Structure 1
């Protein structure tokens, strides 16, 4: 009873606070607060896409009224409070952040709004429309009701080209024949603007370098009809420059491979494949740079070819600026053809660079420690735009808090060398002109890593990779690695860790197969690059297949035992992930972001279990944030109720399902906020007796999801994001059935991470 009284008291205080925000008492006697406008459309005929027309008309119903939050004029209230002589520090601060000037009825110019409505209607073919407006007053507030009477619109009977000079007439005539305009189309000014832009774009692709869409005009003729129909004629404006009406071809292509704006020394060009490569010394070999340049001598000017060339050159990674300029050669121009000289200026980055990074790593499993990495880069190793990256890293982590310190600190050291060729390296020559958008890159790398986990084990690993990556367009990226090798060796294992392995045969098997050799392929569609779009999609699919090719050379040295290669037991498995994101963009940095992830791995042949480094885990700052990293699952397994378990420092499985939903919004400046909910878990497709059978995937998986919710704070400085997410679980699958739904607000998890989770 006391609790109910307390809640009622709080509600009464809130109601009193909301009531105190009433602004009616502050409105001057001779004014009325403007509360907005409505629009009614009255038409003589059916209007196609009336909703879109109404939305456009409503966009001119200005000014916008004062904003309300939960029915309260919060910003207006603090404006009025700040007008007092002694408004107080808090009111002044709230006014600065929230306040807005009142919009009165006297601020509304109805005659201007009515003129704008008529203008928009005429632009859409509704000529001779009429408008009216009425005031709707109530107490100290007023709204305006607008009404538009729309007659039958004008419809197009015929669309054709008018007379034009011979140099351009045929080209424009062919483009008009391909028009999206159809008979009985409503007169629409916006459609005509788009038609002009379409024709201009295609004319430029045909070499009309100096043409502009503003040179085109439309004339509508209604004299032949008396039933609101018209003929549409496309014409050229008067006094259009002659050079705008002729196409241009490329006479020279000059490539300055090491351009310095302060350098005016005349250099002798190197002629290669009908291009002039100009450089003081051979910094970038012409035969390697030539495939990136799509502009060719003798061909007509095409802005798309120019754009493709600039993009391809930028992807090399050796240049900070790519500037393509065209110079008209007037002395060689004729009445029907112009001449252009192409100059490509390339400003290289510094050939060698050294980058150092010092980090303080804090993970959601309470591991905290410093990290240092050094990377040396050579951006033009062999004179063909090759990039060599050699890096060394060191990190120490320790887990703060808790009773058991086993495995709670680790030392990691790593060395990695990566070599990237901006072209395809393949035994059979591949025509790089086939790749229109970007030339694929060849990547090869080799690395070694040392990990010492206190009181548990030391893990030595080596990796080698050879593959290709390329952008099919601005959204789609492919990456294939036909050679992907990973070797791990577990050493210096402690008695405590040996006991963990002895109690968990699955975990022991996952460490036994030291050699992984296979193929990986990744497909990515990234529609998030269009940040202004309302609906944004992202899809990543990854395939990982190991042991097939090497299995041809495997030997079975002992009956009923796994095969080996060069004396090493190798893994065989297939694994597939699907990661799908959808963002609904409300505008003004308000985004509803969602994510679905599904992954499945299957061991076969030489393997009973997927290698430990390839298994899935759940929980953490990029997963289900209400659970610590690698602590969720598998299935409904609970370590606290398992009297036979040793310390499961990492919980893994071969099946993973996750779903995330997050609402993102701005707070102030580079501070952003979020409200989120996550759900997910991992399972095993084959029952692991160590987990008492609680880990096996079944049709009841929805009831076995770990679910949590929370609040987030992000510091977003030019897309560099520092993220803090505070989350608490409200469905814990490790608890007994009937007790799993419990919002544990007393033990929230604080996640710290770099970048958005999805």
Structure 2
């Protein structure tokens, strides 16, 4: 280990040695590979492309990228400038390759690509074909090899002529019905006058028209029925007219629209069912089920299909998605069957069958976690969720979740409590519809129907040598998707009651020393409203640029304050005998992901939060305050150990023996994620952040106050991570060390101390 440490330190302090090392290693591998190349062969090292044109080319870079895509074969890959995959291929061909060489060949080995494997005439034909697809007809392509003793590369020289450009885009003669429908779609064409002939844009136009016709009821139409014809007879300067036509012999049923004649819903469909079912008519739909599993009046609003409306695949997808969100069904399958008869207007008729496969009535889910918390506390947590689906025949779900957690302080300088025990139970009832005194038109929620969520929970927390905390929470609110990316959640009723029990003398001393902390525990009753807005593009996993934005608002005590009882001057108001909190708290959380491809991602995050106490409160309740540090925050600092501001508990005369919190929080994170092998992923990251108080807490000696110097008071750290990612279940290990500690005196804060790094263990990605 000493030798390894010494080498690493020397390479770090002398980068020239590192460069020489990799150069010599690369030369060694190159020489080793060269001796294995057969005498009559040369190793193919790749292709270059040169483009010459008669005139300037629009989007030349895109054209070159398109042409480079057909250059084949691809040469052998390199890792840090070395053909390691090729090297282990050759080593594996020896009589005794050895176990390590065999294993490395299996993982990264690749067969050699020689000059003889390159068919230049095929590539030349592909290049000319790509040019023609882009409107450059009658171009030329030639290939020239550049050869050395053991290696060869090829250069393709492309001569690009002046392109053909469109003068007019016209619709050819078609049958009346479909002709009018296509004509109505023409103004939205992707074509424009003087555009270059482009086969890809023609495919886009065919797909666009096919999609538009499907939305107008043309159930049997296919984009392959459309063809384009270019006519250059009227021009001599490389211009053409483009005509859209129907192919000959298109089936008659493909050029007529279809209407829905009958809609059948099977709320309890099972493939193995053979029992005769009963049929109930509701809102011009047929509900067919053995017994009433799901009440038609509650299921009907989720179905956007209507009889006598034209077939539209968007309505079908919308119905399937809405039904899937109920939470009572495992599969949703919508099938259409053509009927032999026609409608009075000549349209075709379809029968829609919606097959719904229910989930099991009851389900049990167990969750075991290893958690890390404040002051080096760590331990297991176990929860069990029992679900009862479709409780009242309207898609309702009832969940009951008991939980237990135990934590032990594994180390650290503070000894406020060496263990904690948490017990709790949550009851949640979810209705897949709006429960409101006034009826709300379902058309207002076209994308999805809101869910009404009610919950009641009780928690018991005992921290040894400190206190026992008993708390209860009740919520009533609504959750719905406005579209594919936007989600709203509003809880007009949010109640929380906490009672501090069994205070120890040690904790009383803490409260006596910190009056702000005492005030944050005194206000036992919190009643208010919460709202959350989420915009999430992360669901599009193939998207290059992904955004995530979340805004939350927590407003407590404003409404209940109207009924508060005045206890006299300098005393807080009460409601039903309870002192209640009044505050407003807002958070903004922004994420950005840049996907390189091949699971390589740059992920960035910005977070800002502010809590304002007013009226009955001079401090935000403890459970609503911010903290910084930990596996989902600034990972170079222990959870809840960073800040507030520049406070340093080691040098302060007023030591803080409790979690460090504040009413202001700012954080920023940057992370590069990359694959290692199979399900193992790696990361390199940097974090910055801190918490502050807008009103000084005397115990912090003014170090916690937020002012214009906040940027110099950010805690900063960097590190590396290892993630086990198995089908979106992620176990994460992050090792980080601080390089800017705001608790240190000015001038000494920048110090990348790697002697005592922080190891973070968590489930899921941090952002």
TM-score (norm 2): 0.96
Q: What displacement does 1:92 show?
A: 2.4
Matching of residue 738 in structure 1 with residue 747 in structure 2:
yes
In structure 1, what is the Cα distance between the partners aligned to 2:227 and 2:747? 73
Matching of residue 81 in structure 1 with residue 87 in structure 2:
no
Pairwise CA RMSD: 1.9
Tell me the equivalent position of 2:27: 19
Tell me the equivalent position of 1:194: 204
In structure 2, what is the Cα distance between the partners aligned to 1:234 and 1:192? 10
In structure 1, what is the Cα distance between the partners aligned to 2:214 and 2:473? 50
Q: Secondary structure at the match of 1:194?
A: helix
Q: What displacement does 1:451 show?
A: 0.3
Q: What displacement does 1:333 show?
A: 6.0
Q: Secondary structure at the match of 2:278?
A: coil
Of 723, 730, 733, the residue aligned with 1:714 is: 723
Tell me the equivalent position of 1:241: 251
Question: Counterparts in 2 of 1:257-656, with a 5 A limit?
Answer: 257-332=267-342, 336-363=346-373, 365-402=375-412, 405-647=415-657, 649-656=658-665
In structure 2, what is the Cα distance between the partners aligned to 1:45 and 1:424? 64
Instruction: Decide whether the 8 Å contact of 2:52 with 2:159 is kept in 1.
Output: yes
In structure 1, what is the Cα distance between the partners aligned to 2:13 and 2:330? 62
- How many residue pairs match? The answer is 757
Tell me the equivalent position of 2:758: 749
Instruction: Decide whether the 8 Å contact of 1:364 with 1:752 is kept in 2.
Output: no
Instruction: Decide whether the 8 Å contact of 1:310 with 1:324 is kept in 2.
Output: yes
Q: What displacement does 1:646 show?
A: 4.3
Q: What displacement does 1:403 show?
A: 6.0
Moved more, 94-103 or 667-676: 94-103
Of 695, 709, 725, the residue aligned with 1:700 is: 709
Q: Secondary structure at the match of 1:571?
A: coil
Q: What displacement does 1:74 show?
A: 2.4
Question: Counterparts in 2 of 1:29-40, with a 5 A limit?
Answer: 29-40=39-50
In structure 2, what is the Cα distance between the partners aligned to 1:464 and 1:257? 33
Q: What displacement does 1:651 show?
A: 0.4
Q: Secondary structure at the match of 1:289?
A: helix
In structure 1, what is the Cα distance between the partners aligned to 2:464 and 2:701? 28
Pair 1:432–1:79, CA change in 2 (3 A) = same
Tell me the equivalent position of 1:140: 150
Instruction: Decide whether the 8 Å contact of 1:364 with 1:621 is kept in 2.
Output: no
Q: What displacement does 1:546 show?
A: 0.9
Tell me the equivalent position of 1:683: 692
Of 650, 674, 679, the residue aligned with 2:683 is: 674
Instruction: Decide whether the 8 Å contact of 1:310 with 1:323 is kept in 2.
Output: yes
Tell me the equivalent position of 1:47: 57
Deviations 1:639-692 (A, max 9, x none): 000122242x20001111111111111112111111111111111111222111
In structure 2, what is the Cα distance between the partners aligned to 1:549 and 1:393? 33
Deviations 1:109-128 (A, max 9, x none): 11111111110110111111
In structure 2, what is the Cα distance between the partners aligned to 1:41 and 1:403? 68
Q: What displacement does 1:145 show?
A: 1.5
Question: Counterparts in 2 of 1:68-147, with a 5 A limit?
Answer: 68-147=78-157
Deviations 1:589-626 (A, max 9, x none): 11111111111111111111111001100000100111
Q: Which consecutive unaligned segments of at least 5 residues does structure 2 have?
A: 1-5
Q: What displacement does 1:235 show?
A: 1.0
Q: What displacement does 1:266 show?
A: 3.6
Matching of residue 223 in structure 1 with residue 233 in structure 2:
yes
Q: Secondary structure at the match of 1:613?
A: helix
In structure 2, what is the Cα distance between the partners aligned to 1:370 and 1:5? 42
Q: What displacement does 1:223 show?
A: 1.2
Q: What displacement does 1:207 show?
A: 0.7
Q: What displacement does 1:730 show?
A: 1.4
Pair 1:403–1:234, CA change in 2 (3 A) = closer
Pair 1:154–1:640, CA change in 2 (3 A) = same
Q: What displacement does 1:238 show?
A: 1.5
Q: What displacement does 1:402 show?
A: 4.1
Q: What displacement does 1:146 show?
A: 1.3
Deviations 1:166-201 (A, max 9, x none): 231111122124323111111111111111111111
Q: Secondary structure at the match of 1:309?
A: helix
Q: What displacement does 1:736 show?
A: 1.5
Tell me the equivalent position of 2:3: none
Q: What displacement does 1:253 show?
A: 0.7
Pair 1:742–1:599, CA change in 2 (3 A) = same
Tell me the equivalent position of 1:179: 189
Matching of residue 724 in structure 1 with residue 743 in structure 2:
no
Q: What displacement does 1:7 show?
A: 6.5
In structure 1, what is the Cα distance between the partners aligned to 2:321 and 2:121? 50
TM-score (norm 1): 0.97
Q: What displacement does 1:250 show?
A: 0.8
In structure 2, what is the Cα distance between the partners aligned to 1:342 and 1:191? 34
Q: Secondary structure at the match of 2:551?
A: strand
In structure 1, what is the Cα distance between the partners aligned to 2:277 and 2:342? 24
Q: What displacement does 1:708 show?
A: 1.1
Deviations 1:31-57 (A, max 9, x none): 222222221221112222111111111
In structure 2, what is the Cα distance between the partners aligned to 1:274 and 1:547? 48
Instruction: Decide whether the 8 Å contact of 1:363 with 1:751 is kept in 2.
Output: no
Instruction: Decide whether the 8 Å contact of 2:375 with 2:659 is kept in 1.
Output: no
Moved more, 173-182 or 342-351: 173-182
Instruction: Decide whether the 8 Å contact of 2:588 with 2:608 is kept in 1.
Output: yes
